[in-house]
Structure 1
Amino acid sequence: MPDIDTGADDPRADMKIVLVAPEIPGNTGTIGRTCVALDMELILIRPYGFDLSDKSVRRAGLDYWKHVRLSEYDSWAAFVAARRPDRAQLFLFEDDGQAGTVYDPVYPPSAYLVFGRETKGLPPDLVQAHADRLYRLPMRSAHIRSLNLANAATAVAYHAMAAYLR
């Protein structure tokens, strides 16, 4: 694996949150708000389970939604073709991520933090193609199968950005 410059002494980290086929407008709005707080770009990959102009997206993002650095793509393939992310920049998150927990990787300043839809997670072909880049948030209770997408994305984003927020 090539050496990755973590950029820990570069406060200009440019991480991104990527939502693949989000279904709930309130989660997308809340994640947009987190992106504004951390100066992260929000990348949305269609299809959506809502209209992006939906009031509930803006309600969850409050008056911050106008400040979201938003990019949209019609598919994962279109996103990859346009952005050309290096594999080492991709960090995918699922309830059962086999590569380890959110605490294991060193996040480069240009990381893409990728999350799937609320009800089904990431598409199976994406999971299979990136199994070595698939991480999870640990949960101590056996009573919980998963966390709300907005909560998970916020927890991951703050942890990934920790070295750049000091």
Structure 2
Amino acid sequence: MSACASIVLVHPEIPHNTGAVGRTCVALDMELVLIRPYGFTLSDKQLKRAGLDYWEHVRLAEYASWEDFLAERAPRSDRLFLFEEFGEASFYAPDYPDDAYLVFGSETKGLPQAIVEAHRERVFHLPMVSDKVRSLNLSNTVTAVAYQALRGRFTR
């Protein structure tokens, strides 16, 4: 299999967001990596409903912890792209390699502070024009980032 980007959800809480992210992964031929704990089970009806009949096609990997993910995958630092509202650089700034790991935190807490601190120079944000919105929906954010990361595939 050729290198492909992966969406990594760390401690996702809302099943329909994860289901929608799974559908995006299928549409873009990306892997979905889930880091426990989750706020739902993979048999959750809302997850399946959001993922529709595409869920069976999701290339899914699960890890008990962030540390287990790092130990097994051993991603190079320049392949990790973390997304938080306070990231120094815009998600438009980097050139994403084909084997990038696009990492997102839970809907209510974001990424754990220890992960952010360990990879501070790899944290990016999505610009928001209005000051009336604190954050974007996780599945919407993932989709925007995924399309930006794969922009080279669509412009060749």
How high is the TM-score relative to the length of structure 1? 0.91
Name the % identity: 62
Give deviations 1:20-47, integer Å, cap 9, x for gaps.
0000000000000000000000000000
Q: How does 1:23-34 map to 2 (within 5 A)?
A: 23-34=13-24
1:151 aligns with 2:137: no
Alpha-carbon distance in 2 for matches of 1:130, 1:47: 21
Unaligned runs of 5+ in 2: none
1:138 aligns with 2:127: yes
1:81 aligns with 2:71: yes
Aligned mate of 2:56, from 51, 57, 66 = 66
How high is the TM-score relative to the length of structure 2? 0.97
Runs of 4+ in 1 over 4 A off after TM superposition: none
Number of residue pairs matched by the alignment: 154
Q: CA deviation at 1:165?
A: 2.5
Alpha-carbon distance in 1 for matches of 2:146, 2:3: 12
Q: CA deviation at 1:13?
A: 5.0
Aligned to 2:103: 114
Contact 1:13 1:164 in 2 (8 A): no
Per the alignment, in what secondary structure is the counterpart of residue 150 of structure 2?
helix
